[in-house]
Structure 1
């Protein structure tokens, strides 16, 4: 019995020694950005990084609050400046400046309703793709939908905004937003095909379409697929449009701009582009405003103008060089003639 007890104790000590060695090895392999993190023997590298990120986020909270204060001050200054510009413009037009108010104030935004709008262009977000998105992507899609609402209520004449097939997971995620049922948006559980729009007046927007949208028309419904898939379901909306027998079209991106990245836009970007054109703005202005700067969008008209200018400059330089060569030849001939005489 004593021999067995001694063997058990030796085994226990060996086990403790191995655990200590494993712990030391984990600590030596811990990422450098986990300094200050409470390390537990059973924590993986991923857990260490995650805990370090959380700790850094907590430490930076005062800086974030300070940054938000600065941004709020800048926003307030911009609003004041915009209102002053509007009043100055009103005075030049013979309008009493005191009657001018900030169009982005809450009071004015409440009066900008779809019911009172002269714009009858319909935009619909088709939310029938819930089951094709993971939770993270569905949350992103709902955030994009929220931004669509925010953009629309700031239009002087909002578009007619619909959200269809709005059930299940999407409705549950939207429930995190207080008061969303009071938004100036037509939420429906039914499909966009069941709305009060004739089938021939429905246009599904898809990048794969050969039809180019020139200008949104009053009385038509433009459908955007409510799908965040990182381009893994490419061509799905086009396929569905063909199956349902509805019209389809693409935005005129190729006709107006060049981008450094692939031409895949999020739901809110497409909404902002259609909504901006519906507000009688120009394509160039709307595209540059809506498309993210990280894609480095450039107007093709500007590129052509730069190429023409470069071509003219090169031509002028060539003519100047040719003129210099002629002058050199003439000078050499004169010098040769003088030497001969």
Structure 2
């Protein structure tokens, strides 16, 4: 009689199950499967998303191949002289006329500004470039002394997008590089500063105009004037006082405002029209809210905004309502949580996308 055990020993009634193997199998199954099983609806949605993603990839591949084929066909026709005008890619109909002048933005005040001021300056540079792109008579834009935190912030924005700005040039050196090889260029350079004694009457296509890239909230008075005088550079101020004598604030503009005024003057040859198209109307009321009360009228509601900016707005959620508390601590009444409340918050509580504070540009 053979001593070998039958292969079907586990099928015998007295055979003990392999508990350790069963536990390992259970752990493996539990680890591979999600804790909450997917419903049929969720599975259908997941399959649909996967199918749409696959179809999108296939469609993009077909479109790419079609563009390549069309480009290859157009190249072959051009080489054979068979290309019709209708097959030629049509250029943009927007006609640009270069003014001939150059605008330089001096970024050499990086060490004198706070981090918040540099952030505001970087935003102003973006608006300056956008204004130049939209202009029918664009300038040649040059940015000098690009170093420090200004360079860091520009580099961190959208993978150094500033390097892809068309019609711009960036120098790490100071603007005196303009006449480093030709001293005759220096007399054609004008530093625009609000503190200059000379008033600019017109822009000339053979001159270069420097705008101070500084945001200081009136901390660094005469900074651009002193720098220009030390370098022996001619200075001039925009004729704001002549055409906007009722402007009640200090006649200092942001970088992009100064640049936009130059662009508008080139297109209209009218300083007053250029100023009115750029400078906010709320800055023209000399007496502020008091004059409006004497007149008994509120034309455009700008003074209401200024009145609101005199309040410290504290938002406290009580039964889904918010309260606006004035400096005196008196409640002006409950308000629902709407956009009107957000609009009443003073500017210095908000990180504005578009800079509105003075103290830069024509400094």
Q: Does 1:189 align with 2:172?
A: yes
1:121–1:278: 8 Å Cα contact kept in structure 2?
no
Give the Cα–Cα distance (whole angstroms) in 2 for the partners of residues 247 and 154 of structure 1.
29
1:130–1:169: 8 Å Cα contact kept in structure 2?
yes
Give the Cα–Cα distance (whole angstroms) in 1 for the partners of residues 215 and 285 of structure 2.
22
Alignment of 1:57-206 (within 5 A): 112=96, 117-178=97-158, 179-184=161-166, 185-195=168-178, 198-206=185-193
Q: Does 1:225 align with 2:212?
A: yes
Structure 2 CA distance for partners of 1:176 and 1:284, relative to 1, 3 Å = same
Residue 287 of structure 1: how far off its partner (Å): 0.2
Give the Cα–Cα distance (whole angstroms) in 1 for the partners of residues 255 and 120 of structure 2.
10
1:120–1:219: 8 Å Cα contact kept in structure 2?
yes
- CA-to-partner distance for each residue in 1:227-265, whole Å, 9 max, x for gaps? 000011111111111110010000101111121222221
Q: Secondary structure at the match of 2:176?
A: helix
Give the Cα–Cα distance (whole angstroms) in 2 for the partners of residues 217 and 130 of structure 1.
29
Give the Cα–Cα distance (whole angstroms) in 2 for the partners of residues 233 and 171 of structure 1.
21
- CA-atom RMSD in angstroms: 2.0
Residue 108 of structure 1: how far off its partner (Å): 6.0
Q: Which has the higher contact order (CA 8 A, sep 6+)?
A: 2
The aligned residue for residue 197 of structure 2 is 210
Alignment of 1:280-291 (within 5 A): 280-291=268-279
The aligned residue for residue 239 of structure 2 is 252
Give the Cα–Cα distance (whole angstroms) in 2 for the partners of residues 263 and 211 of structure 1.
15
2:178–2:186: 8 Å Cα contact kept in structure 1?
no
Give the Cα–Cα distance (whole angstroms) in 2 for the partners of residues 216 and 142 of structure 1.
26
Q: Which has the larger radius of gyration?
A: 2
Unpaired runs of at least 5, structure 2: 1-90, 287-363
Show structure 1 runs of 4+ deviating over 3 A. Answer: 106-109
2:268–2:274: 8 Å Cα contact kept in structure 1?
no
- CA-to-partner distance for each residue in 1:274-314, whole Å, 9 max, x for gaps? 1221224311111011112221279xxxxxxxxxxxxxxxx
Alignment of 1:309-328 (within 5 A): none
Q: Secondary structure at the match of 1:175?
A: helix
Q: TM-score w.r.t. structure 1 length?
A: 0.52
When you count helix as a share of all residues, which structure comes out higher? Answer: 1
- CA-to-partner distance for each residue in 1:5-36, whole Å, 9 max, x for gaps? xxxxxxxxxxxxxxxxxxxxxxxxxxxxxxxx
Give the Cα–Cα distance (whole angstroms) in 2 for the partners of residues 161 and 152 of structure 1.
8
Q: Secondary structure at the match of 2:201?
A: coil
Q: Secondary structure at the match of 2:220?
A: coil
- CA-to-partner distance for each residue in 1:132-157, whole Å, 9 max, x for gaps? 01100000001011100000001112
Q: Does 1:293 align with 2:273?
A: no
Give the Cα–Cα distance (whole angstroms) in 2 for the partners of residues 125 and 227 of structure 1.
9
